Structure 1
Amino acid sequence: MRGKELNNGRMAMIAALGIVAADIFTGKDGMQQLGLGATRERTSRVALRATAEKVEVFQPAKQMGATAPLGFFDPVGFTKEGDESGFRNLRAAEIKHGRVAMMAAVGAVAQHYIQFPGFEGVPADLAAVTTAPGSYGFAALFILSGVAELAIWKQDDKKEPGNFGDPLGLGQYNEDMRGKELNNGRMAMIAALGIVAADIFTGKDGMQQLGLGATRERTSRVALRATADKVEVFQPAKQMGATAPLGFFDPVGFAKEGDESGFRNLRAAEIKHGRVAMMAAVGAVAQHYIQFPGFEGVPADLAAVTTAPGSYGFAALFILSGVAELAIWKQDDKKEPGNFGDPLIACRSQRSNGRNQPDDL
């Protein structure tokens, strides 16, 4: 069953990714993509065009953000002429990711030296997210960010994307500053991605990567190898998951010989993503017909995440999932990755014991 779960999870990750990509480019939910019993119709968010009275066609390339010498940059063609609504959504996402990336890039360097009281033992790299109390702080920040985005700083369709006023009264929100924010955000997204990738492959935090004043040393989680007494070297290719006809599949080379700890982390992540993807792939099709009471007006596609009350349900599910992962189903290093027991058997066993031995209650 563990082998079947791995294989089904891998297939589900591919399926879920395909459903999401097709939804974005075709505007059809999971059921409509299959062409079976589709009853809802909507227009693709990417391909939406003005079809009413002829008016001046919206031109994405003429909007703010086209910067010399590159000009307007959209090699994949996400933005379409006439699709002002789609452009606004993409621009809002770009600004949001840029703002987060600017804070992340600065934080990745600053946290090498600066730590809040009580967090002295938390690593200064990506491991901070999975090391208590850093994991609790991350969960708290995520919840606060969700509340701010869903309840406080909500986008006003009458204002340009990213405009939430000037709470500090700096008086600098003008066209020039908006252009600078876009460019700095784009650079920060590249920088943050580079810092994360380098952390994974080198084991160095943001400050150590710069080679300036680095005082902490640790071993890469990916490149970690046994360097003590000579023992039998751990072989990832011999572990469960190597399935004919492909055999052991790791084209990028994440798993290393001798790095059992790194392999366990990767395998736990694979199982976790596989389980989520299996539920997501089924849900993407089933939600075309099945909706909970009170959610009748929520779309049956990706827009459900951003359409109230679907957005509130998504936030609640995310919080419950975080609680389950961080406090209930925690990985035991003495067990294989993904092994959290068999709770359904345990429940039946407890009920059986309760019936047979009532005096023990």
Structure 2
Amino acid sequence: CLQGNRRCDPLLFWDPIGYCGGDCTKEDFDRRRAVELKHGRICMFATIGMLWPDVFGKFDGYLSPSQDLKFADVPSGIAAISKVPLEGWLRVLLVAGLIETQLFKDQSLGGFAYGKYGEPGNFGTGYWGRKIQDPAERKLKLTTELNNGRLAMVAMTAMLIQNGLTGQSPVEQLTSGHISPFNDGQGFFAQFDPSKELGACPPLGYWDPFGMMAFQDEEKFRRNRELELKHGRICMVATIGMIVPDLFGRFSGYLSPSMDLKFSDVPCTIEAIYKVPAAGWLQIFALAGAIEAKNLAFPTNYGYPPFWGQINKLSPEEKQKKLLAEINNGRLAMMAMAAIVAQNGATGQSLVEQFTTGNLNPFIGGYAQEESANRVAMRAGNSEALPWAPVPEGLTNYIFGPYVGDAGFDPAGFAKNQRLLPWYREAELAHGRVCMLATLGYTVQTSGAKFEPFITRYPTDSADPLKAATQVPIIGWLQILVVIALSELWRYENVITKYSEGVQPGDLGWNPTAPMSSKRPKWFGPTFTANYKPEEWNNMRLRKIKHCRLAMVGFFFMVLTNASTGQGPSLIPNFTQAEFQSTVGDFIPKGL
């Protein structure tokens, strides 16, 4: 019964309970697949329903005028079940029944749910209401739907459990700081507050994205803090060890006389692991073990303060500052060590070697001042974006090639699937254009330029664009979504489905006179007639894709800054004079 059915990474075929074993027939499997699809679709809507009202607001007016029940009175959680009157639930069930039996024409209620087209879950309402003709694309879309449904079922279960335990919806938990990486991290039954401990400092404040301190366990915090300090101290020493030998030289003499191994033979790279003999590593492990055995309680203070105990003579404020500096330096060293090892693994060179050969030297243009012929030849087949890395599979590594802006950068390997490459370029341009408008929108919003009360009768907050987004009424967002949906539908019909006919990804036909030999879509709105030479047009396209990429990164950090500080950033610098720069007193003698 599994033949021809969709299986995908990471679990492939996963049936721990054995539903599809033994006497499972195709009808049994189809029935379970239909149930899986149905529950997944419902949970996708349900997860949106758990988040949307708290983020974008609830409908105005009454849900039940006879019971004086407003939409605003219904919570986003399990408590909504008891809030909605019985008549309301009967209507919901009636609509669900009509959808099952009439709208989707599934007459096999309680049966195998083959749907309208004799396939589990296929009711004839495909992507944008249309059937997908390409078999490969159809398989991809159906697999995506299955995976999204499975994710939604897990997410909905987690949301309900959280709601049942805390009495709060997911958005309420985030905004109140119970599971927020940007707030104080206090839980509902907090006994110990880790956000008040040393290390919770700008720019992230108390930052615990993995929820390791979700239950405020003080003993666990102390254990994690000791591990953080220990790894940080080791990495501070390790980063120095990865750099100092190449800068100041190595010890003279032999590391292992019996193996004729000198200190100068050991590189500052990962290869040093294999150069040092096993007996040497055993000595290192023995020394580390002796140090660990002496400190079984994982103390923060090992009793060896710098400068022979001078730190204990500092004031409490100064001592706190020094200890915080140690934590932050350790965190920086852990990140630096990870980056140095990753660079070494990718290039085979130590950090100093990469600087001196010009691979990442900011002072000599990224290239060595004097290059040998073999290095030039080696880089000839490498990526323009990452000169030490080969060109990713599927890319041309030519910025004016079929995909303008192709600099040989594809760390995720998307370009391996050539069939989807036009769609990826389409998505990149679409997201980039939106982000260019969004970064300008942030600037306009924070500068105070707004139409009031054109969009809403409620006051809006210019300093906090994320907060202002919640002040737009629901009907306003629905209008915006309708316009976006119509635009996307036009793009799907006239661009995305026309790739096979020669239409270029992202070409909306805004300039019919552009020097392009490919087929052009006909834009339904106003167009531009600026004339360009082919070289000028290619340069314009290159600038556009660069601006798109920059805008996507910029908008991400704008939102992150806004969420962290409560104030939106702007592209326009703020030249407001600081208070300490203002004139104090009257320095002009009177009477002159």
Same fold (TM over 0.5): no
Q: TM-score per shorter chain, which class?
A: 0.3 to 0.5
TM-score (norm 2): 0.25
Q: TM-score, normalised by structure 1?
A: 0.40
Structure 1 or 2, whichever has the larger Rg, is 2
The structure whose RCO (Cα within 8 Å, separation 6+) is larger is 1
